[in-house]
Chain A
Amino acid sequence: MPYIPHTHGQQQEMLSTIGVASIDDLFTDIAPELRPKSFDLPEGRSEMQVRSHLEKLAAKNNTNLTTFLGAGFYDHYIPSAIKAILSRSEFYTAYTPYQPEASQGTLQAIFEYQTAMCRLMDMDYANASLYDGGTAIYEAIMMAVRATKRKKIIVSECLSPIYRCMLDCYTTNLHLDLVTVPHKQGLTDIQALMDQIDEHTAAVVVQNPNFFGCINDFTSLFAKARENGALSIISVYALMQSVLKTPGQMGADIAVAEGQSLGLPLSFGGPYLGIMTCKGKLIRQMPGRIVGKTVDKDGREGYVLTLQAREQHIRRQKATSNICSNQSLCALQSLVYVSLLGPEGLKRTAHACIELAHYAAQKLTSINGITILNDQPFANEFTIRLPVSAYAIIDKLVPQGYVPGFPLGRYYQGMENCLLIACTEKRTKQDIGILVELMRGALE
C-alpha cells in the first residue's frame, strides 16, 4: 500500500510484540454494531493516473482569460524565488512550533513577518496570521467588543460585501448591534459614519481603498471614534499599503488585510492570508499565535510562541479566539515576497498598477455612455457606469477571452449597470486597448 513501509514480516513481528494475532484484534473495542454500513470508495490509483486525472481537470479550467477582476483578490506577478523557498519541506512539513528549539526557522520567520506587517501598516503589533481578510475583520470586531465592553458596530457599506456577508454569519447568535452605513455613489459616507458613533459604539469599520476602489483619509473619522471611546478598524489592500497613507498615520486601532496580494496565487479562493495588526494597548485582546524574542540558557537570541494565556489550549472557553491552525506558510510566503521586492520594488509594482488603472479609466470613459462612478481618487481599481447591464457586457466579452470586471449588481441593488475594474502589473496597455475595443463593440 502506498506510503506504508512495513513488510508483511515486520507487521507480524509488531503484532507478536503487542501480543495479538492480527490487526483486526486491535480494533475489538469498536463493537460490531458500530462498524461501517458501507465504505464504497474507488480503488486506489497510481501516482501517474491520479496526476493525469487532475491535469485533465486543471485543463477544464480556462485560465487564459485576460481578467480585470479584482474585488479584493488580485492577479499580481509572483517571483520564482518564492516557490523555491516555499518548497523547502523543513518549512512546509513542520507543525505549529510547539517545541521552539526545533522550530527556530518557523518562529524567526513569523517574527520577521510580524515586523514586516507592522511596518507596512505603521502599527505596533501583528499576530502570526489569521485565515483570511474576512475572518480578520470578524476577529477585529470581537477584539473591540471585548476591549470596550460595548455592542454596537458601525460598518461602512463600502466594506467588501463578501466580508459583510461573513460578519452577518459570524455574529448571528452574539446579540451585537451591527449598523451598516450606506455608500454614497460608491463613496464611503464619512459624515454618516461619524453621526452613528455614540457611547454604545464598540467600533467603526471601514475599508481603504473601499470596495468601489475609492481612496480616503479616515483620520477625522478615527479621531471621532477615539473621542467616544470606540475603536477604529480598517481593512486595507496589503500591496497598495506600500504607497497609500497608512492605518497608523490615520490613527486606526486595528488594521487588517487580505494578504493574498503579497505573493500568493489566486488559487480559486485559498489558501489566503489574514493579516492582523493593532495598537499596543490591544495586544492582550489579540487572537491567534504571537511570536516573541527571548534568549536561551547561554544567552543566545531565539524565538518562542508567547502571550499564550490568550489562547484556546490554555484558556479553553475563556480564550480570545478558538483559532489554532492559521495560515503560517502563507505568512511566510508574504514575508518572502516583501523581502524580495523591498520597499522600492513594492512601490514600483503598486505604481505600475495605479498607472495602468488610470490609463484604463481614461480610455474606457472615452467610450460614449461610459462614465466613472465618482471623482474620488482611486489606486488600481475603479468603478464605471455603463448604459446597459454589466452582466450583458460580461456575457459578450467572456466568450472572447476577456473578463472586463466584477458586476456590482451581484451585491448592490441599483448598481446593475456598474462594473468594478482592476488592473495589476500583469495587464498591459495592449490588453486595455483590446478591452476598450471589445467594450465599444459590445455597446454598439
Chain B
Amino acid sequence: MKTIFAKSVPGRKGVWPEEPEGQITDFIPENLLRENLPALPEQSELDVVRHFTLLSRRNFGVDSNFYPLGSCTMKYNPKFMEDIANLSGFTDLHPLVPQLRGAGHYTQGALEVLYETEKLLCEITGMDAFTLQPLAGAHGELTGVMLMAAYHNYKGNKKTKIIVPDSAHGTNPASAAIAGYEVVSIESRDGIIDPQALKDALDDEVAGLMMTCPNTLGLFERHLREIVELVHSVDGLLYYDGANLNAILGKMRVGDVGFDVVHLNLHKTFGTPHGGGGPGSGPVGVNKKLEPFLPISRVVKLEDGQFFLDYDYPFSIGYIAPFYGNFGVILKAYAYILRLGREGLIRVSENAVLAANYLRKKLEDYLHIPYNRTCAHAMHEFVASAVKQAQKGVRALDIAKALLDKGHHAPTIYFPLIVKECLMIEPTETESKETLDQFVDDLIEILKIAEENPEAIQEAPVNTPVKRLDEVKAAREMILKEQDM
C-alpha cells in the first residue's frame, strides 16, 4: 500500500484553521524561522481517514484475532474503559494545575483515581506502597532497580551486581545494566531457578535478584521460599517482574512471600489495550523498606478527605516521569479492577491457568513440551518446542507463519532463549473454548502438513497482506523513512 506521503497532492486542503492576518515575520525574525515548510502529507480529511482505515485492516488485533502471544497477556480490552478514558473531565486536565498553590482543589477527581488505584494495587500484591509513574513495564523495572540502589546507598552497602535467571525477559538485564549494575546470569535447572546456582552466584556485592514468577516457561518457581531467604541473607533485595501476574491474581501476593519491589504491567494484567506497542503503564510497588525512596510526587489523602500532591520526601529518587504516569492508561486499569472486583480478579487467574493447561494437554501429543515434570501444572502460559518438526525442516518460525494463515496471531517464538524452537503460548482467560479448540485443530493440521509436505509450511503465510518479509534486506539497506522528494 502506498504511503500517505506518496499519496500527497500539493495544495490539497486538509484541516486548515483560518489564516491569521499578517505574517509570522511580524513577530519572529526570519533568521529564526525554517526556510521551507516541512514536506508533510497534503490530503483531504477523507483521504486521511481512508488511508488509516485501510492500514488498520492490515493488522491483527485482539478484537479480530486470537492472540496467544506468550508473556504479553493479550486479553480482551473492555470497551467501556475507552469511554471512561475519553471523558473530558480527564482528557482536558492540564497536569500542572494541581501544582499551582491551592489549585489541587480543581483536580480532586483525578487525584482520587491515582490514590485509589495505588491502594487497590497494594491489596492485590500485598505491597505497602505504589507509584503509578513508570510509563511502561521496562520503565517500571528501571524504577524498581533504582529504588534498590537507593536503599543500598542509604545503608552504605557496597553492591555492584544484580542476578538475573537465564529465562528472564531481556528487559531485566537491560534495566539492571542501565541503572549501573553488573548483570550476573544464572542457569536454570529443569526450567526453574536452581538454588545451588543461586548460592554459587551470591555474595555480599549482590544487590538483588530479578525474578519472574511464574517464569517465562509458565512454571511456578518451586524453590521460591528458599530463594527469598538466600537473597535476603546477603541483604539483597527481591524484585518481582509482574509480566506474568495474570497467573497468580488472588492465589499469591508477592508482598506476602517476601518480594521487596514489584512492577506491574497494567496493559497486560489489567485489561488496558497495548496500542500496537504502547502506551503501557508499569506501576511499581514496594514494601516498607523501600517506601522512603519512591519517586515524587506522591498522592496523599488529608484528614478532611482532600487529596494533594506531596513532594516532600527527602530520600526519594526524584522524578522518574514528568507527572503522574500514563494517566489515561491508569484510568482504564482502575475501571477494570472496580468492574471485576475481588471475585472477578480471582476468576481471571483461574481461567487463564485453566485455558493454558487445556491447550497444553491438547497439544502434548503433537509438540514437545519441555520441563513438563518440573511442576504439577503449567500456570497461565506454557512453552512448546518444535524440535521434532525442525528435524524435517519446519521450524517454530514456519509454524508461527502458518498460524497467521489460519487467522490466529502466532505465539511468542524463540523466547525464552533456553528452549530450542520455542513457541510460548498464552491463551488468557477471555478466549472461549471454541476459539481454543479451533486453534488446536488448526495447529494440529499445520503439524500434520509439516510432516507430509514441509515446503507448504515453509511457504507460509500466503493469506496475509504480504508474504514472508526479507528482514536481512531491511537491516542492510536501512530504508527507515520515505525518501525526500
Contact = CB atoms under 8 A, between A and B. Distances in A.
Interface residues of B, number: 206
Interface stretch (A167-175, A190-198, A431-439): A167-175
Given A101-B401, A270-B323, A354-B24, A315 B170 contact: yes
Interface residues of A, number: 205
Nearest to B105: A62
Contacts of A28: 376-377
A90 B56 contact: yes
Interface string B9-47: 000111111111110100111011111011111110100
Given A50-B80, A105-B57, A342-B41, A75 B279 contact: no
A19 B361 contact: yes
A251 interface: no
A184 interface: no
A374 to B, nearest CB: 15
| Most central of B13, B51, B83, B322 by chain A CB within 10 Å | B322
A338 to B, nearest CB: 5
B103 A394 contact: yes
Contacts of B325: 269-270
Contacts of B329: 270-271
Contacts of B123: 38-41
B390 interface: no
B175 interface: yes
| Most central of A14, A83, A126, A345 by chain B CB within 10 Å | A14
Interface string A1-33: 111111000110111011110010111111101
A332 B278 CA distance: 11
Interface in A88-124: 88-106, 108-112, 114-116, 118-120, 122
Given A14-B354, A328-B278, A243 B34 contact: yes
B469 A295 contact: yes
Contacts of A318: 177
| Most central of B78, B86, B362, B479 by chain A CB within 10 Å | B479
A304 to B, nearest CB: 5
B409 to A, nearest CB: 6
Contacts of B109: 56-61
A358 B27 contact: yes
Contacts of A18: 354, 357-358, 361, 377
Contacts of B41: 116, 338-339, 342
A344 B103 contact: no
Nearest to A316: B173
A11 B63 CA distance: 23
Contacts of B343: 1, 43-44
A181 to B, nearest CB: 20
Contacts of B35: 249
Interface in B214-262: 220, 222, 224-225, 248, 250-253, 256-257
A398 B339 contact: no
Contacts of A186: none
A103 B60 contact: yes
A103 B480 CA distance: 17
Contacts of B17: 77, 345, 348-349, 352, 425
Given A39-B345, A116-B40, 6 more contacts: A45-B341, A94-B59, A119-B38, A169-B318, A339-B43, A345-B14
